[in-house]
Structure 1
Amino acid sequence: MRIATANNYDSTIKVLADRQAQLAQQQERLATGKRVLRASDDPVSATLSEAARNRLARAEADQRALEASRTSLQQAESGLAESGELIQRVRDLLVTAGNAAFTDSEREDVARQLEGLREQMIAVANRTDSAGRTLFGGLGGAATPFVDLYTPSGNGVTFNGQRGQAAAGNTALPQALDGESIWMQVPQGNGRFVVTLPNSNTGAASTSMGEVIDPASYTGGDYRISFNQVAGQMQYTVIDVTNGNTPLASHTGVPYEPGKAVQFGGMSFTINGQPASGDAIDIEGSPARSDIFSIVQNAVEALRYDGANESAHRNQELARAMTEVDASHDRVLLARGRVGELLNRADSLGSLLEGRAFDHKAEDSRLTDIDLVKGISDFQTQQQGLEAAIKSYAQVQKLSLFSMIG
């Protein structure tokens, strides 16, 4: 069989072209740093690399969401800190307002300051983050979660958000807090019962906020203490309002002693001052929750109260306001502590997600990146081989029978 010169020429050119294509491909790998540029280069590695990149994209998305939550929580923590400072200023003003030497104009000045602090607290509760989301709207539901409806016929501040708070996940944190539980769930009185004075009282008696001294005997019922002058001596009777206004047998016609603790139904509190005959003290067991805004407003109204038993009424209401303000401050501090825990968790989750992202990047690199040392060595070898082949072909193609004859 005879092989023509043209066939040898075509075969050699094809080999040189293949070598040149391989060299160009190796050069492209070195330029990009990737061993697998397309699925045909290594189908298995390309498939595994795609899965690694998908996991990396999810990890990066979780990181962005976590950073957004961290930013919102930091702003919420700042708002809670400001709220705590405002509540402390309210307490300081309540202490100041208790000065018996204050005139009506001085008490009015304190009342106006309290109203200003109340408005500031509402503004803090309605604060939004840098993205325009409410920080204390709970699970959402309103652009302005706290609406001030305080008018002569209104009912104070209402919460128009959605109660509750999103739970922290394995890679996510809530971006809003439940403001309803922070500012709208303040225990009234001492948290177990409330002692109040009817406006009809004419005497000068007031009470402490009291405490539960025997939880087993405490029923949570409502009572009334009525005072009557009998034979020149002031006496009081405890009436069980919950059970049909029935007088307590052991607390009927008891001689009144100012400053002495009154104990019944597992409760204890002190009555100070001198009541008038016909005066009363009401005890409400298991009262509903109040809110810091109503507490401040009640203190303002107490400072502006102008009626019978003015001094005793004011002292009673200011003492109750201070107790409830302290309870509200505790709730704000508790919420701030929870935010601090969430921010610490954000740091831990951030480190976890960064580690995952690094692992996914490393896996993708292991599957598709080129070994530069080996790649450069292979490129130089292929380049030298191609140059040698071109030079050899150039010499061989000059060989011809006509050249030999000449």
Structure 2
Amino acid sequence: MRIATANAFDNTIAQLTRRQADLAKQQERLSSGKQVLKPSDDPVAATLAETAKNKLARNEADLRALKASRTSLEQVESGLGESSDLIQQVRELFVTAGNGAFTDSEREDVARQLESLRERLVAVANRTDTNGRTLFGGLGGSSTPFVDTYTASGATVVFQGQRGQAAAGNTSLPSTLDGDAIWMRVPQGNGTFTVSLGAGNTGSVRTDMGEVSNLSAVTGDAYQIAFADVGGQMQYSITNTTTGLPVAGQTGMPYQSGQMIAFDGLSLTLKDGPAAGDTVDINPVSASTDLFKVVQNAIDALRVTGTGANAQRTQALTQSLTELDSAHDRVLLARGRAGEWLNRADSLDSLLGDRSAALKIEKSNLEDLDLIQGISDFQTQQTALDAAIKAYAQVQKLSLFSAI
């Protein structure tokens, strides 16, 4: 088969052109540092690299969200710590206010201090993070979740957030806590029943908070202990005010200060001297109270005056102290949970960081160029192209006319 000179020249030029294109492409790879410049270079590698890129973007978003949650949780933990300190100061004032030697003015001074601490507690409950989001608003709602309202019956804090707590995910943590569960769900009295003195009491009788001595015998009814002077001897009788019937074995019983009485699964200790006609009311707990109301009740008790005021005040402070300790336990529990979430945030940060590093390596292995190999290939192609150009320059001078 005869090969024309023109055809040979065309083939040689085409080969030189391809070599120049390959060399230019290799130079582009070197300048970009990428082995895969477009999907057609390696469809499988390009697809896997795009998948790794998307995973990396989601992982980076999780890291940013985790950082924001950690910042909020740090402020939550700080706020709960401050709340705990304030509650401890309130407790110390409760104990101080129980001093029977205090004058009305001294008790008023304590009441004003308690009012200041109560306002600070409300401020902590309404605290926001650096982005202006409430830290204790639950699942959302008002920008001021705890609103202090003043009515004829006294000051009351109302929760206007949305109750509930966002659940922690595999790579996410809640950035707010349910303030309603922390401060607004405090058990009244001892958690089962409350003990209060009759409003018209004139004696000095008072009680402890009582306890459940036999859970299976508890009826859940309300009771009243009434005192009467019979022949110069103080006696007490207990009536079930829910049924209107006297409690068996608890009618016309002699009274002695410091004695513990037990009935229908309940027990409590009576102290000091009652006057005839004094009463003690025992009511089942039907709803919870809140920390702010506990403090307000103590403030109101310190301002009680008149006959029997000392006993009323002592009884109210005893109940407030018990409820305050319950409230403190709830704050400490919430603070412990925030601390656990912060520890989990450290673990998640390490996990997501390792995942980002792995995805970056995977993406690099799929699309990045081995520079050493790339430079070697570029030099090889460049040498081959130079040799081909020189060879072509020699061959194109050959002609039969040169031999004539």
For 2:269 and 2:124, the matched residues in 1 are separated by 37
Aligned-pair CA distance for 1:346: 1.8
1:194, 1:287 within 8 Å by CA — same for their partners in 2?
no
Contact 1:221 1:286 in 2 (8 A): no
User: In 2, Cα distance between the equivalents of 1:379 and 1:262?
Assistant: 100
Call closer, same or farther: CA 1:153–1:96 in 2, change over 3 Å: closer
Query: What is the aligned partner in structure 2 of residue 12 from structure 1?
Result: 12
Q: Tell me, what secondary structure is at the counterpart of 2:57?
A: helix
Q: What residue in structure 2 maps to residue 363 of structure 1?
A: 362
The percent of aligned pairs where both chains have the same amino acid is: 63
TM-score, structure 2 as length reference: 0.95
* 1:298 and 2:297 aligned: yes
Equivalent residues in 2 for 1:95-106, closer than 5 Å: 95-106=95-106
1:158 counterpart = 2:165? no
> Structure 1 residue 2: deviation in Å?
6.0
1:75 partner amino acid: Q
Partner of 1:177: 177
Deviates more, 1:3-12 or 1:211-220: 3-12
Q: How far did residue 8 of structure 1 move?
A: 3.7
1:308 & 1:263 partners in 2: Cα distance? 29
Distance in 1 between the 2:64 and 2:201 partners?
Answer: 62
Kindly state the Cα deviation for residue 228 of structure 1 after the two structures are TM-superposed: 0.5
Question: 1:399: Cα distance to partner?
Answer: 4.4
Q: Which residue is 1:88 aligned to?
A: 88
Contact 1:171 1:349 in 2 (8 A): yes
Quote the RMSD (CA, aligned, Å).
Answer: 1.8
Q: What's the offset of the Cα at 1:153?
A: 4.4
> Aligned residues, how many?
404
**Residue matched to 1:345:** 344
Distance 1:286 1:99 in 2: 29
Q: Give the SS at the match of 2:236.
A: strand
Aligned-residue offset at 1:404: 6.9
Structure 1 spans left out of the alignment, 5+ residues: none
Aligned pairs for 1:362-401 (under 5 A) are: 362-399=361-398
SS state at 2:270 partner: strand
Conserved 8 A contact 1:261-1:269? yes
User: In the aligned structure 2, how far is the partner of 1:129 from the partner of 1:371?
Assistant: 47
Partner residue of 1:190?
A: 190
Which stretch of structure 1 is more off in the superposition, 117-126 or 41-50?
41-50
Task: Give 1:25's aligned amino acid.
Answer: K
Q: Deviations over 1:180-214 (max 9, x none)?
A: 00000001111111110122111111111111122
Structure 2: how far apart are the matches of 1:318 and 1:9? Answer: 110
Counterpart residue identity of residue 371, structure 2: L
- Which whole-Å CA distance do the structure 2 matches of 1:388 and 1:75 have between them? 71
Letter in 2 for 1:347: D
Query: Over residues 224-281 of structure 1, what are the superposed CA-to-partner deviations in whole Å (9 max), with x where a residue is unaligned?
Result: 00001000000000111122x2111200000000011111121221111111100000
Matched residue SS, 1:362: helix
Please state how far the C-alpha of 1:390 moved relative to its aligned partner.
2.1
Deviations 1:309-335 (A, max 9, x none): 011111111111111111100000001
* Letter aligned with residue 272 of structure 2: G
Whether the 8 Å CA contact 1:139–1:163 is kept in 2: the answer is: yes
Residues 163-312 of structure 1 aligned to structure 2 (within 5 Å): 163-243=163-243, 245-312=244-311
TM-score by length of 1: 0.95
- d(CA) in 1 for partners of 2:63, 2:126: 27
| Paired residue secondary structure (1:250) | coil
Q: Does 1:35 align with 2:35?
A: yes
Name the CA distance, whole Å, in 1 between partners of 2:98 and 2:398: 120
